[in-house]
């Protein structure tokens, strides 16, 4: 039996609360499906559907990588969109701060997991928090985003001390994905 999984950095309550305030201010203006605050996370590596027998190999591989990582700090803020905020398929919050350390983590995981048999990502890593998925784009959504001053504000959701990595399960339902934390690995504190 396979399960859909990904590796991510979990968020703190302060960032979730700041996102809740943002969502309350913009959700009535922009009629899209917003991610629930409890589902917010920073994806590091999407693993996809993996077989149950692969999990111990993945767990050991991740442990080997994170045991040498020192904690680092990220800032979550700024609103953007993929491909653009004027024609979004995804509305996201940006990530700044110790990006070099985050990229080292991503690169080490990508190499180690590829050697362990996981599919290697061929797209460059763009750290972000997905806030909304726009299922059907319309020009109206683009016009709304351009006309709403709330999207022009330099939103700052907060500071995130990154000291662990988590393995999540993603169950797809008609109401959206449900995420369950399966495991977490603390970084080396020394």
Rounded CA-CA distance 37/48 in Å is: 23
pLDDT values of the chain reduced to their tens digit, one per residue, 190 residues? 899 999 999 999 999 999 999 999 888 877 788 999 999 999 999 999 999 899 999 999 999 999 989 999 999 999 888 888 778 888 899 999 999 999 999 999 999 999 999 888 888 999 999 999 887 766 677 777 776 666 667 789 999 999 999 999 999 888 788 999 999 999 986 5
- Note if the bond before 83 is cis, omega within 30 degrees: yes
pTM above 0.75, yes or no: yes
Question: How far apart, in whole angstroms, are the C-alpha atoms of residue 20 and residue 24?
Answer: 6
* Whole-angstrom distance, CA of residue 185 vs CA of residue 55: 14
Cα distance between residue 16 and residue 153, in whole Å: 18
| Distance in angstroms (rounded) separating the CA atoms of residues 146 and 157 | 21
Domain borders along the chain are 2-186
Q: Give residue 69's pLDDT.
A: 94
Count Cα atoms within 13 angstroms, Cβ side, for 157.
29
Fold of 2-186: Cyclic Phosphodiesterase; Chain: A, (3.90.1140)
Using the 8-state DSSP alphabet, how is residue 53 labeled?
G
């Amino acid at each position: 039996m396979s399960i859909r999984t990904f590796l991510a950095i979990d968020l703190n309550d302060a960032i979730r609360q700041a996102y809740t305030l943002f969502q309350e201010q913009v959700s009535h203006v922009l009629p899209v499906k917003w991610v629930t605050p409890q589902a917010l996370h920073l994806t590091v590596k999407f693993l996809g559907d993996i077989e149950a027998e692969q999990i111990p190999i993945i767990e050991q591989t991740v442990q080997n990588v994170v045991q040498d990582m020192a904690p680092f700090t990220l800032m979550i803020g700024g609103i953007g969109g993929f491909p653009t905020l004027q024609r979004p398929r995804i509305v996201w919050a940006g990530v700044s701060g110790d990006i070099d350390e985050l990229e080292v983590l991503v690169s080490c995981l990508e190499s180690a997991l590829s050697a362990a048999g996981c599919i290697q990502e061929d797209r460059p890593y763009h750290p972000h928090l997905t806030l909304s998925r726009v299922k059907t784009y319309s020009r109206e959504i683009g016009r709304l985003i351009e006309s709403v001053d709330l999207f022009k504000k330099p939103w700052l959701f907060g500071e995130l001390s990154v000291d662990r990595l988590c393995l999540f399960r993603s169950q797809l339902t008609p109401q959206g994905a449900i995420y369950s934390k399966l495991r977490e690995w603390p970084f080396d504190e020394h």
